[in-house]
Amino acid sequence: MEREKINRTDKKICIPGLRLSKANKDVISGPGTYELQGYIYANLSGILKREEDQKTKITVVSVESLRTPSLLPKTGDIVTAKEDIKSTDKDRIEPYKCFRPGDIILARVLPMTDAHWCLLSTAENELGVVTATAEGSPDGVNMVPVSWSEMQCPKTLVKEPRKVARIIPERLNKKTDDNAEKK
Amino acid sequence: MAEIYKLIHPVKYFNDYLTREVRPDGRKFNEQRNIKLNVKSLKCVEASAVVKCGNTTVVCGIHLKLAAPKPEEPDRGFLVTNVEVPALCSHKYKPGPPSDSAQVTNFLVSDIIANSKCINLKDLCIVPEKLTWVIHCDVVCLDNDGSLVDACIMGIMASFKTLELPKVLYDIETGHIEVDDAARTPLQVHGLPIASSFAIYKLGDRNILLTDPSSYEEDMCGGVGENFIVSSNKDLLSGTHKYGGNKLDTEELERALTIAKERAYCLENVIETCITNSEPTNNE
Amino acid sequence: MPIDYRRFNGPEDSVSYKQYTKNFLKSYEELCNELIDENEHRKDGRALDEARTMYARTNMISQAKGSSYVELKKTKVVCSVFDPREIPNKNEFSPLGQIYCEVKFAPFSCPRKRRALVPDAEEKDLSLSLKKALEPAVCRYAFPNYQIDVFVYILEHDGACLAGAINAAGLALANAAVPMYDTITACSIAVIEDKLYVDPTEEEEYVANMTPAKEGINHGIITVAMLSTLEQVAGFTQLGSMDGTCVINATEILQKECQNIVPIIHQILVKDVIHNIDLSEKLEKEAKLREAALNENMEEWKKLLSAD
């Protein structure tokens, strides 16, 4: 009965330690897999995916987990993050002009070398504040961006400085779905 | 997408549901979760019960010991109830000694059991001034998805109802003790205390009373754990506590008490039915 | 022992009533002979080399990222795994993530005595053994500077607790989508004189832990954890005293037993994935409905805004 169910879903199910394929120049290991002694093994349970690059003809073998994997964002990933500036940093003027605590931002993860912080960068046009609430305005009312550096609250009409992300709506949907959530 | 929306706009997400007269898990405001109860599932203890209220899971087990009674109360036994809330049951707890809220829950449950007078401590005495039973009743929470006190009380009561004390022969002259494991008498249980938890949420000008709240609902209503707990043994209240959350006016208080009363009758039935059903399997 | 002010304590001089029952005090020989009858059958009817059938499931605890439940007849183990979190009180960068393990016995888990609520040495020892067994199985490079919490709770102790804890933790980690090199399985054996009891019960373990009066008699417990596909030993603990050949014999049997559990674990993990596929399909449908409703909301909101 189990077997029937597997066939019905038409998906290849992987569990950790399953040998998936030989590894060579044309077949490389992707997310959810690891390479050991010339073979690719799964390290998550989920569904097998084989994707071939049109130009280079390289097949990437990966395992797609159906749950958010328990790992940290890698260098280069784009993450959705909630702003939580520590009270000591509040004195610094610079971040205050760009973000405030409680904002939701899109950012790229920088290499992690420090013991305490996971560094994020918003130094791209597409990255920055996505949603924010103005100080003193009722809960749940979001500000509307008026330029790349300012947002306005629709209820109180207060303008506040922010580093606004240039978002193409579909892109936002895709990015937030694809990337790991970081509180 | 819904998960992300819940994360980014927690208050708005919750309000969206409540304005439509429904809770995020699909229940009505005064609807309780499904209850599963199983007694005598652990084999190495005297009595045990496993309770599931929705996702909230607690396991209760009873150990029996013998001790000399306190000199100031020579004809009374001991009833020691402990509620353990280990780090495994929720992401809110860290490993180590019990947190403040766990200690409060522990105290509250012991208090309700003691105040309801469901066990007469004099029944536990074997020989006054010499020997008495010590009932160690331990409750472990495996999954804390709200309304923990309700489940704990249910587990303890179901265990008490199935507890049987072995026969003890005590020689007053020599002090020799002999226990006959096979001859057992059931413990006298007076009434059946039941606790009912509520959470109170302020939606605009409205006060919403949520029966049997889940962990998520408890968080949204502020405070740690349940906002309001009513416990009663038959028609007698044995502890009513209000912790944090929104204010409660007299009209709503009355409503909560009525709901708690109805719920108590319903749960009494559940426990009684479960115990009668478990009897034949025990004889096999 | 210091008084625990955080919990309720009973009278200090209380003793379990079982001390006064008829079959409390028995000699080593009596206990030893009771374990097995003339047909080489154990108390529960198993042969010496027969393990108990394992029942296991995942998604036991709703509040945890991943969780599992393992049952070996009377031995019942619950395990939960949580999202990686920053290592508390750490002052240097660690390229490999940490696994924090905590094994606890329920106060009512043991038939011989009530367990104290504060952690004791046996629990600490089991926690460390579990941590050491899991470390080779988990891809720790995936969460540098962070730790994953693995909590194991033993509800009922009827032998083979460490093996049960490792099996449960392996399932819970896979259920929580923590990257792992392989599925991990474990099994125990109790050595009493010249007999090897596979997957021992609490009674057998109790006798195996007793030191016999005569010298030079093998006794003790061995637990082995294996990574099945890679055929590597992830964890090995030996308690008691025994000679080398006995250890080698026992290890061979245990490796086979570990392989026997693998299909059960695999089946559960596959079921878990199928369950998740069904769930995600259902959620997708719901999300579409919700999005439609939200868009409606948006329209209303826009109208309000333009009215202002």
How far does the CA of residue C273 sit from the closest CA of chain B (Å)? 20
Q: A107 is in which domain, residue-wise?
A: 78-182
In a domain, residue A40? The reply is yes
Per-residue model confidence as pLDDT tens digits over C222-258: 999 999 888 899 999 998 888 889 999 999 999 999 9
Which residues in chain A are contacts of B8 at CB distance < 8 A?
A: 82, 104, 131
A118 with A159, same domain? yes
Assign residue A40 the CATH number of its domain: 2.40.50.880
Q: Do C182 and A17 touch (CB under 8 A)?
A: yes
A8 with A55, same domain? yes
In a domain, residue A166? The reply is yes
Chain centroid to Cα C65, Å, comes to 17
Residue with tokens 């089991």: C126
Cβ-contact C17, B88 below 8 angstroms: no
SS (H, E, C) C74-135: CEEEEEEECCCEECCCCCCCCCCCEEEEEEEECCCCCCCCCCCCCCCHHHHHHHHHHHHHHC
Q: Do A43 and C267 touch (CB under 8 A)?
A: no
Residue with tokens 């609430």: A133
Which residues in chain B are contacts of A140 at CB distance < 8 A?
A: 9, 11-12, 15
Per-residue model confidence as pLDDT tens digits over C101-110: 999 999 998 8
The last residue of one of the domains, among A64, A94, A117, is: A64
Nearest-10 Cα torsion for C239, C244, C250, C252: 130
Q: How far apart are CA C15 and CA C105, in angstroms?
A: 20
Q: How far apart are CA B116 and CA A7, in angstroms?
A: 57
In a domain, residue A72? The reply is no
Chain A CB within 8 Å of residue C5 CB: no
In a domain, residue A69? The reply is no
**Which amino acid makes up residue C301?**
W
Based on C-alpha coordinates, what's the Rg of chain B? 21
Write down the pLDDT at residue A4.
46
* From B8, B11, B12, residue closest to A104, measured CB to CB: B8
Token digits of residue C10? 């009973």
- Kind of pairing, strands A33-36 and A120-121? unpaired
How far does the CA of residue A102 sit from the closest CA of chain B (Å)? 9
A97 with A132, same domain? yes
Write down the pLDDT at residue A92.
46
Point out the least confidently predicted range of A87-101, A128-142, C262-276.
A87-101
What residues contact residue B266 under an 8 Å CB cut-off, 6+ apart?
Answer: none
In a domain, residue A71? The reply is no
A101 with A142, same domain? yes
Domains and CATH numbers, chain B: 13-283 (3.30.230.70)
A20 with A59, same domain? yes
Point out the least confidently predicted range of A159-163, B87-91, C243-247, C284-288.
A159-163
Point out the least confidently predicted range of A134-148, C122-136, C152-166, C284-298.
A134-148
Residues 195-224 of C with CB under 8 A from A: none
Range with the largest mean pLDDT of A43-57, C14-28, C68-82: C68-82
A88 with A40, same domain? no
A54 with A92, same domain? no
Cβ-contact B112, B238 below 8 angstroms: yes
A173 with A130, same domain? yes
The last residue of one of the domains, among A17, A36, A64, is: A64
The last residue of one of the domains, among A39, A64, A89, is: A64
Backbone angles phi, psi at C59, to 5 degrees: 55, 55
How far does the CA of residue A19 sit from the closest CA of chain C (Å)? 8
Q: Do C183 and A16 touch (CB under 8 A)?
A: yes
A87 with A171, same domain? yes
State how far the alpha carbon of A98 is from the alpha carbons of A94, A127, A159, B166, C23, in Å.
Answer: 7, 12, 13, 73, 76
A103 with A28, same domain? no
Q: How far apart are CA B31 and CA B198, in angstroms?
A: 11
Of C132, C150, C143, C136, nearest to C95 (Cα)? C143
For the entire predicted model, the pTM comes to: 0.84
Q: Count CA atoms within 13 Å of residue C134 on its CB side.
A: 33
**Which subunits have 3 or more CB–CB pairs within 8 Å of chain A?**
B, C
- Kind of pairing, strands A39-42 and A19-22? antiparallel
A125 with A90, same domain? yes
Write down the pLDDT at residue A86.
45
In a domain, residue A85? The reply is yes
Task: Assess whether pLDDT exceeds 50 at residue B282.
Answer: no
Range with the largest mean pLDDT of A146-150, B30-34, C66-70: C66-70
Which residues in chain A are contacts of B9 at CB distance < 8 A?
A: 140
Q: Do B65 and C15 touch (CB under 8 A)?
A: yes
Cβ-contact A181, B7 below 8 angstroms: yes
Write down the pLDDT at residue C70.
94
Q: Do B65 and C111 touch (CB under 8 A)?
A: no
Mean pLDDT of chain C: 87
In a domain, residue A70? The reply is no
Assign residue A113 the CATH number of its domain: 2.40.50.140
Task: Assess whether pLDDT exceeds 50 at residue A38.
Answer: yes
What average pLDDT does this structure show over B83-95? 88
A88 with A161, same domain? yes
How many domains is chain A partitioned into structurally? 2
Q: Is the CA virtual torsion B265, B270, B276, B282 positive or negative?
A: negative
Which residues in chain A are contacts of C92 at CB distance < 8 A?
A: 115
In a domain, residue A73? The reply is no
Task: Assess whether pLDDT exceeds 50 at residue B283.
Answer: no
Domains and CATH numbers, chain C: 25-307 (3.30.230.70)
